[in-house]
Chain A
Amino acid sequence: MADVALANTGAAPTRPSGWQGIAADWSSDQRAFKNVSWGKAMMWIFLLSDTFIFSCFLLSYMTVRMSTTVPWPNPSTVFALTIGGTTIPLILIAIMTFILISSSGTMAMAVNFGYRHDRVKSAALMLVTAAFGATFVGMQGFEWTKLIMEGVRPWGNPWGADQFGSSFFMITGFHGTHVTIGVIFLIIISRKVLRGDFDREARGFFTSRKGHYEIVEIMGLYWHFVDLVWVFIFAFFYLW
């Protein structure tokens, strides 16, 4: 029973809201996050730390771009693709953006079906999400290959400021790593959902804790965060 009490986000007694709620939650004994399980709170805190990591990358990019005396390469033409004889600016990145947003949509619905204990739909939507994510990474691989063939290196490129290459590989590389890790975990968790681990409350092999559908939501938090980071990369690196 003690285990259930810890994991259950359960119906809480009425608590004050607004500023009084913040003061009451934080000054009370034991738990600041009243109706959020430790797993979800820890994922949020991890994402907060990841936010700082990506902030530092984007900030260093901003610093090198603002301080260079050499013109910055124009991303609009660097990332243009020629399809059927017409050159469309930034089209590859636009498609990647739509793919990642779609994956976020399917993930949000997977979380919803998970809480409704609809195993098949939840797992299927997670696998669709993973497929979108894998497509995204594949397109990023294509983009990297194209740029490397054109002579972009972390220490220089044919079009302008040398710092373009290092910023590009660092930022998109780190983001792509996050997507890849997300795809791997999506597959692992969708397998657990499909197998019914969370209906039987089967214990995880690593933590030995009882499984709940909340794990799907925690996975979703991570995945939406990856999409969120891409929103900022898209705005600052590709569009600016």
Chain B
Amino acid sequence: MAQAAVAHVEGQQHPIKLYLVVWGWLFVLSTCSYLVDYFGLHGYLRWSLILLFMILKAGLIVAIFMHMAWERLALMYAILVPPVLVLVFVGIMVFESNYTLFTRIIFFGPGP
């Protein structure tokens, strides 16, 4: 909190080293997610690794590069909570597409 108070004297002031470290981590994580495809991992291992690296990368970008980690909670929650609700939409559409697939298989023959 003391740091947050100082940071707003003029905008955000952080050491350049922090950005370089995050940059390095983003490179490492991107390489990892590329290697998932390169080594042809499949099934739940592939999907969970893709999601893990994606969330870590997204978190680093939002928290450090976009300075969200140093903002007040009022802004943080106002911006970060609504996208989480998209997951409800995802759930609805998963349900919907399973139904569409089901009817297609019933009426047009076997699926993949």
Contacts and interface: CB of A to CB of B under 8 A. Distances in A.
Q: How large is the interface on B (under 10, 10 to 19, 20 to 34, 35 or more residues)?
A: 35 or more
Contacts of A41: 75
Interface in B43-102: 46-47, 50-51, 53-54, 57-58, 61-62, 64-67, 71-75, 77-79, 82-83, 86, 89-90, 93-94, 96-98, 100-101
A228 B58 contact: yes
Contact of A101 (B10, B13, B26, B83): B26
Contacts of A90: 34, 37-38
Task: Provide the main secondary structure of the chain B interface.
Answer: helix
Nearest to B9: A11
A184 interface: no
Interface in B12-39: 12-14, 16, 19-20, 22-23, 26-27, 30, 33-34, 36-38
Interface stretch (A146-154, A168-176, A189-197, A231-239): A231-239
A217 B83 CA distance: 22
Interface of A: 9-12, 14-15, 17-19, 21-22, 25-26, 32-36, 41, 44-45, 47-48, 51-52, 55, 59, 62-64, 66-71, 76, 89-90, 94, 97-98, 101-102, 104-105, 107-109, 111-112, 114-116, 213-214, 217, 220-221, 224-225, 227-228, 231-232, 234-235, 238-240
B55 to A, nearest CB: 9
Contact of B5 (A11, A94, A102, A239): A11
B67 A66 contact: no
B105 A69 contact: yes
A225 to B, nearest CB: 8
Contacts of A214: 11
Nearest to A31: B74
Nearest to A12: B8
5 contacts: A18-B73, A22-B74, A63-B97, A214-B11, A234-B30
